[in-house]
Amino acid sequence: MFFYKNDTQECDIEYLTDPTSLSNNGPDAPIPLWYTNQAVEPTKIDKSCESGPAPSSCTTHAHEYRIDWTADFTAFYIDGVCQKNFTDNIPNVAGQMVWNNWANGDQGWTAGPPNRDNVFKIQKIVMYYNTATNESGDSR
């Protein structure tokens, strides 16, 4: 899932299903999720691209994946729990939300192409725009 305008205005949550991808931890290790704000300034990519543990059931059960994008930070959540919070390379122009399932053969990232059908299921999509809460926690 990702927000995209162009190569410098993008934030992602990505799961690389091929365990042989050089970006994963090896064929016998758990596959992580990747959280990224693409580099507005290429020298700052290391400050806004990190991996973290994926839910052990991420391919068999529905989970809530969420990106909170503000002028000050981008926060990435799984099932309501913040996993990463970046304050560098925050997108600053409007774009679109994208959900996709793809491989381009790059052994350092997506690897592939898959040797069998690769299914990506979405239970529901909920989006909020310009929402906030006041000090008492009420939505406004």
Residues 89 and 48 sit within 8 Å (Cβ to Cβ): yes
pLDDT tens, residue order, the chain (140 aa): 899 999 889 999 999 888 888 898 888 889 999 999 998 776 766 778 999 999 988 888 999 999 999 999 999 999 999 999 999 999 999 899 999 888 888 888 888 888 888 888 899 999 888 776 656 655 55
Instruction: Provide the whole-model pTM.
Output: 0.84
**Ramachandran assignment for 34, one of left (phi > 0), alpha (psi -120 to 50 degrees), beta (any other):** beta
In single-letter form, the type of residue at position 57 comes to S
Distance, in Å, from the CA atom of 90 to the CA atom of 92, rounded to the nearest integer, reads 6
